[in-house]
Amino acid sequence: MSELVPGGNVPLPDGTLTLRVPGPFDVSALVTDDGGRVRGDGDFVFYNQPAAPGIRLLGEALTVDPPGLRAGAARVTVVISPAGPGTPFGRLPSPVLQVTGPGARVLARFAPPRPQRETVLLLAEIYRRGPGWKLRALGQGYADGLAGVARDFGIEVTEEPASAAGGTGARSRGRITAAPARGGAGGASGGRASAPGAAAPSPGGGSRADGRSDGFLDRVNSARVKAGSPPVSFDARLTEAARAHASAMAAAGRLGSESPDGVSVHQRITASGYAYLTVGEQLVSGPRTPAEFVEYCLSADRPRLTLCEPRFTHAGLAQAADPRTGDPYWTALWACPLSPAGLARTAAEVMALTNAERTAAGLPPLADDAVLTTAAQAHSTDMVTRGFYSHTSPDGREPWHRAAAAGSRHRAVGENIACGQRSPAEVVRGWMDSPGHRANILKPDFTHLGIGFAGGGRAATYWTQLFGG
């Protein structure tokens, strides 16, 4: 069985899959093609429409037979929401996805970072990869219910218009992915904001200016100063990445950290030449001007925490218009660049947290090992560079091969990896919640440890612990 983290994936066997999320949750599914859009209302499986070709919903169990999906289907996105309408996830037990295959064999388990104010969670996706199918853990939340999710996947939803006093509804996706010594705020939520009466973006697609001439940075830094955070400055590489991602979202007509061509916003950042230690993104559709964008970000807790996060030093902003509808799609990027000192602080905190767990279990602490650190760092970097997530490198090398190649003489070698976690505290907590990873951390035979971290790739962050004894 695979214990998945956000962004982690696992190949699926042939046959029918069963996905369960026990607890007070409703399970739904969206069937999409390569462009990430549904073909019609029949592609939305939920409690009022519990079946579609290849998919059936029975209570808390969703069965999926990938070969039986409708023609052209390339992806099934599994969605959960609280059974009580409007109830935020923060008031409920943490959801846990369990996936079984033929013969009731457990294939994977995914416990996402605990959502709080969100009312819908994109939990996982089953997607075609070559001749087979894979499962990827997601853990992205929406704050405006199934209607918001349905719209972003191309389903028309009719709602009563909001009253003037009620303000505008907003959906956005925002995450802080942090690797410095102290973790910060973060979270993901999906959405759209509207601004009646505002000037529309230029039709026909393409990116607008980065907000430099529209006072964006002045408004941002004014808010940051009030929050006690230092100002940020524009970075051309982040702006380049933001422009590419905003254009991709506008072309597809949907928000997402990964565009239909499979390129994530974090891959665009690293492709621009910006190596980060901490990164945050805000993906929003609706605001018509940089001023409205900042106003929206300051109106909700999570976007405001991202905008005011004190660790960020650089920013990038871009907007592009959907060529079909003229709807604006924004990408704002915030980051702190990678530095040797920052990387060392990150590794030191992972080491300290790991040794605290060993001490609590009555075990001696692990010693920092420079050779294991070299191998661990190389593996994290390799996972970002070559776009994989596995203990086995594409060339077939295993952890003990990498340790020996770096010069290690330890006779016992073990490895923990993770991706997507926002801080040392989050990644160590995730490892301790997984029996296999916990066993490595608390193995009495291990005496030394090396830590690796790299930012980029689809999951934003890739972590490696390499143990020796």
C-alpha neighbours within 13 Å on the C-beta side of residue 378: 16
> Residue 75 has what pLDDT?
92
Beta bridge partners of 264: 258
Confidence of residue 223 (pLDDT cuts 50, 70, 90): very high
Beta bridge partners of 178: 278
Whole-angstrom distance, CA of residue 393 vs CA of residue 401: 10
Whole-angstrom distance, CA of residue 236 vs CA of residue 233: 10
Q: What is the CA radius of gyration of the chain?
A: 22
Q: What is the pLDDT of residues 251-268, one digit of tens each?
A: 988 877 777 777 888 999
Q: Output the CA torsion 237→238→243→248 (10° steps).
A: 110
Instruction: Choose between 181 and 395: higher pLDDT.
Output: 395
> Residue 248 has what pLDDT?
92
Binning the chain into helix, strand and coil, the percentages to the nearest 5 are: 30, 30, 40
Beta bridge partners of 78: 29, 124
Taking residues 56-62, what's their average pLDDT? 84
Whole-angstrom distance, CA of residue 169 vs CA of residue 45: 25
Whole-angstrom distance, CA of residue 290 vs CA of residue 149: 25
Question: Under DSSP, is residue 99 helix (H, G, I), strand (E, B) or coil?
Answer: strand
Whole-angstrom distance, CA of residue 147 vs CA of residue 191: 10
Q: Has residue 245 got a pLDDT over 60?
A: yes
Q: What is the pLDDT of residues 404-437, one digit of tens each?
A: 999 999 989 999 998 877 788 888 988 887 778 8
> Residue 158 has what pLDDT?
41
Whole-angstrom distance, CA of residue 116 vs CA of residue 89: 5
Q: Has residue 193 got a pLDDT over 90?
A: no
> Residue 452 has what pLDDT?
95
> Residue 459 has what pLDDT?
78
Decide: 145 and 81 in contact? Cβ < 8 Å.
Answer: yes
Decide: 438 and 361 in contact? Cβ < 8 Å.
Answer: no
Q: What is the pLDDT of residues 130-184, one digit of tens each?
A: 889 999 988 877 665 666 566 666 665 443 333 322 232 333 334 333 332 222 3
Whole-angstrom distance, CA of residue 468 vs CA of residue 13: 34
Whole-angstrom distance, CA of residue 61 vs CA of residue 98: 10
CA distances to 197, 228, 294 from 401, in Å: 62, 48, 49
> Residue 188 has what pLDDT?
28
Q: Is 158 exposed, middle or buried (0-12, 13-18, 19+ CB in 10 A)?
A: exposed
CA distances to 10, 11, 21, 292 from 108, in Å: 8, 10, 12, 42
Q: Is 469 exposed, middle or buried (0-12, 13-18, 19+ CB in 10 A)?
A: middle
